[in-house]
Structure 1
Amino acid sequence: MTDAPVLKITDLTVRVPAATRTDSGHGDLTLVDRVSLTIARGERVALVGESGSGKSMTAKAVLRLDPTVELSGSVRVAGQEVVGAPERRLRQLRGSTVSMVFQDPMTALNPVLTIGDQVAEPLVIRGVGRRAARRQAVEMLDRLGVPSAATRLGAYPHEFSGGMRQRVVMAAALIAGPQLLIADEPTTALDVRVQEQVLDLLEEQSRELGLAVLLITHDLAIVAGLAHRVAVMRHGRIVEDRPVDDLFRSPEHAYTRGLLASIPSVDADPNVRLQTVEDVMRADAAASVPPALVSGAILEEARR
């Protein structure tokens, strides 16, 4: 792709200053350590790793959502620098250039505001008239598969199922026409069928709109059919960043192999204990020759 990347992160470091730490430690606490990542227009990249690996902190840094941390390095969104940018410029970027879908749609939506008001809000705060904004909200909800959208604008979040609430959150994130969508664990607390629908929706919108997508997840199994590329994060660092097929078929880092080995298989012997990430990493460290690479069968099963 010859276009400049929609997102270009270079040597990003996120620290909690010693003065604002709430734990018993001393000195600055580094949460994200010299991370570099690029995403092109229409490209879908999954950032995966265990809880606490730094995935969500990296995502929040793109939008500067956490005022308690210090950032260094560079984060450029559509060519505009985020690190050190004034709040006025950040407000212009949020929503219209980059949007975020959070993991729990019930807490992401305001329970006392109607669905119509929340989906239309990104347009209203940019000067679009309320009537026009609500008309566009209906069109966006229709496009995302919310039934009877026009008649449900006055409904409240608790009147929608989990899957429908996530569609509403996505509608609010997409209505201002961003170039980059960050989806932070968007399938958490959803059943398997609804997870599939949400992921299909992400892929469909990315393909139709040329939308760049950064998917944050701890579950490698859900990214096989969605992502073009996978970046694996551990202890605040990216340890592997490769095309999705290459990563599933021949993971290079022991941590990646551990994540793949811990994916349950329908063909597995129920009497055999499932390997943990730590099991694989200990075996890798003890072996003089790296263990056999993961076969393409795992990739195919993850895509079922």
Structure 2
Amino acid sequence: MSVTSPSTAPLLSIDALTVHVPEKERIGGGLGDLTLVDDLCLSIRPGERVALVGESGSGKSITARAILRLDPHLRLGGSIEWEGRELIGAPRHVIRALRGAEISMIFQDPMTALNPVLTIGEQVAEPLLVRGVSKKDAYQRAAEMLDGLRVPKAAERLKAYPGQFSGGMRQRVVMAAALIAEPKLLIADEPTTALDVRVQEQVLDLLEEQSRELNLAVLFITHDLAIVAGLAQRVAVMFRGRVVEEQPVDDLFARPQHPYTRGLIGSVPRLDADPAVRLMTVADYLQEGSAA
């Protein structure tokens, strides 16, 4: 676990964030703007690992993309501060300077996140090359990053292509490209999608290891509460575009407060459950909570 002090100033402070699809951008038309994220508040301190959890469509990825302003057609409201600097409304060159250098992002599917016609070396070294680092130094650093993420024969494999790597190895390449410029915050959006359970565990272990060694803050986005227990220190639960609960990870599992959180935890099948007893769904917990 990181030794981040509660008194440490946050790297990232999100306050009352709203994300809207303007009426003119809505597919198929529609009356008025469409709200995707509503009044979201979240902060992350140096070295802290925070999980943003919820079902597909709850607004997790949209929130992550809003931090880096990756969807210019969406309208943002509220505040996103990075080390005290407001990002909403900041000039595009300011945001571009942050991407990769101070805030990096791993996207969902390692099988499609890499360009199939570029070598591994080209893709891992790119964040340094665009910042003026020489090709020789950038490639040397790329080999070191891959070696640190336990890619066998890293220096030799810089000339390989993504199609020559397994899913787990591709995800390590994606992580290397995200970390090579030594960012302060890594946003990992469903980084274990399409990976088998054993490889998922390896990727999560690497994320935790890198966070501890580099004092790297991590915003980990997932729909699966089960995989955050060993990684996150704090969990925020999203439901219909809002954070409905936020607790330290152990407290969340021991004493979930919101019916939706209880539903996410309770709807996971257990090996010791009676197969003859119907498993409660998230909707059952929400209905039970509204009736209470």
Q: TM-score, normalised by structure 2?
A: 0.96
Partner residue, 1:93: 98
Q: Aligned pair count?
A: 287
- Give, as a single letter, the amino acid of the residue that structure 1 aligns with 2:118: L
Q: 236, 239, 242: which one pairs with 1:234? A: 239
Residue 162 of structure 2 is aligned to residue 157 of structure 1: yes
Q: Give the Cα separation in 1 of the matches to 2:11 and 2:145.
A: 23
Q: C-alpha distance in 2, partners of 1:215/1:264?
A: 23
Asked whether the 8 Å contact 2:23–2:29 carries over to 1, the reply is no
Offset from partner CA, 1:117-161 (integer Å, 9 cap, x none):
000000000010011000000000000011100100011111000
Deviations 1:211-263 (A, max 9, x none): 00000000000001110000000110000011011110011100000001011
Aligned match for 2:42, one of 31, 37, 43: 37
Other-structure match for 1:170 = 175
- Give the equivalent residue in structure 2 for 1:109: 114
SS in 2 for 1:137: helix
Residue 260 in 1 paired to residue 259 in 2? no
Q: Distance in 2 between matches of 1:271 and 1:44?
A: 39
SS in structure 2 at match of 1:121: helix
Q: Give TM-score scaled by structure 1 length.
A: 0.93
> What is the correspondence of 1:62-77 to structure 2 with a 5 Å cutoff?
62-77=67-82
Structure 1 window deviating more from structure 2 (222-231 vs 75-84): it is 75-84
> SS at the partner of 1:108?
coil
Give, in whole Å, the separation in 1 of the partners of 2:281 and 2:33. 31
Counterparts of 1:1-304 in structure 2, within 5 Å, are 1=5, 2-287=7-292
For 2:187 and 2:284, locate their aligned partners in 1 and report how far apart those are by CA, in whole Å: 32
Q: Measure the CA separation in 1 of the matches of 2:291 and 2:34.
A: 31
Query: Which stretch shifts more, 258-267 or 155-164?
Result: 258-267
Letter in 1 for 2:66: A
Give the residue type in structure 1 aligned to 2:246. D
In structure 2, distance between residues paired with 1:24 and 1:231: 32
What RMSD, in angstroms, separates the aligned Cα atoms of the two structures? Answer: 0.9
**Structure 2: runs of 5 or more not aligned:** none
Contact 1:255 1:281 in 2 (8 A): yes
Q: Distance in 1 between matches of 2:28 and 2:271?
A: 42
Q: Once structures 1 and 2 are overlaid, which stretch shifts more, 278-287 or 48-57?
A: 278-287
**Aligned 8 A contact 2:50 2:236 in 1:** yes
Note if contact 1:78-1:97 (Cα within 8 Å) is conserved in structure 2: no
Q: Partners in 2 of 1:169 and 1:116 — Cα distance?
A: 11
Using the alignment, how far apart are the partners of 1:118 and 1:79 within structure 2? 31
For the 8 Å contact 2:21–2:73, the answer to whether it is kept is yes
